[in-house]
Amino acid sequence: MVMLPRCVFKRVLQQFYSGHQGNPKSLLSAAFTALPGGDAAAGRRSQATIPDIRERTLIAVKPDGVQRRLVGQIMQRFEQRGFKLVGLKMLQVSDDLLSQHYSELRTKPFYPRLLHYMTSGPVVVMVWEGHKVVQTSRMMVGHTNPAEAQAGTVRGDFSFHVSRNVVHASDSLEGAQREIQLWFQKKELLSWDSCDQTVTCEV
């Protein structure tokens, strides 16, 4: 018979009643987990399985989105999904910033028109944080060409032509890091703990 200290016994009961199925096997697993170093002993978690909830991406509501008063609805989608806003500002973009942002597209035939569009009015640019936020936000934003974007995506719901596709989202981890540094100073980004952190993800 294993004697558990009172505090460990309390943790066993907490683990048992929060999320375990209530069968004897899960009670045993809860007991193992509650012991010091017990996560490993119970074979539950390893460093590799802990989700990276600090990934960040850059999302921008383009001038057409701002003109059409879509900022709130677009932000709401990211909040609703559970991502955390860590940077936000509205600005009139300079040609210089934009040419750095779209440097890979410089040789494209649509580039001059893209520059004109993106500087035609203010944009709202933000940094969102969360597990796999780069990949997930690309899915939420939808195909570059709204004609091919799925309904339910931002572009699929609010636009119909590639020349005015409402929103920008970084397309890779490296791209996100480059774009965040380009658009934001370090001091403009906040690291903060959201109270739902342990509710939306096992951390």
Active site residue ranges: 168
Nearer to ligand UDP, 9 or 110 (CB): 110
Q: Which stretch binds ligand UDP (CB under 6 A): 3-11, 12-20, 33-41, 165-173?
A: 165-173
State yes or no: residue 101 binds ligand UDP (CB under 6 A).
Answer: no
Which residues of the chain form beta strands (DSSP E)? 56-61, 84-91, 123-129, 167-169
- Give dist(CA 185, CA 189) in Å, integer: 7
CB of 91 or CB of 139, closer to ligand UDP: 139
CA distance 140 to 175: 17
Q: Give the nearest distance from C-beta 48 to ligand UDP in angstroms.
A: 30
Kindly state the tokens that stand for 32.
């193992």
Looking up tokens 């791209």 gives 175
Q: Which residues contact 106 (CB under 8 A, 6 or more apart)?
A: 99
Distance in Å, CB of 102 to Mg ion, minimum:
8
The correct pick among 67, 99, 144, 197 for binding ligand UDP (CB under 6 A) is: 144
Query: For residues 104 and 193, which CB has a smaller minimum distance to ligand UDP in the complex?
Result: 104
CB of 123 to Mg ion, least distance (A): 15
Cα 126 to Cα 150: distance, rounded to the nearest angstrom: 23
Name which of 29 and 57 has its Cβ closer to ligand UDP.
57
- Please choose, from the candidates 181, 5, 190, 11, the residue with its C-alpha nearest in 3D space to the C-alpha of residue 101: 181
Chain residues that interact with ligand UDP, rule: CB under 6 A = 105, 110, 114, 144, 162-163, 165, 168, 171
Contacts with Mg ion by CB under 5 A lie at: 171
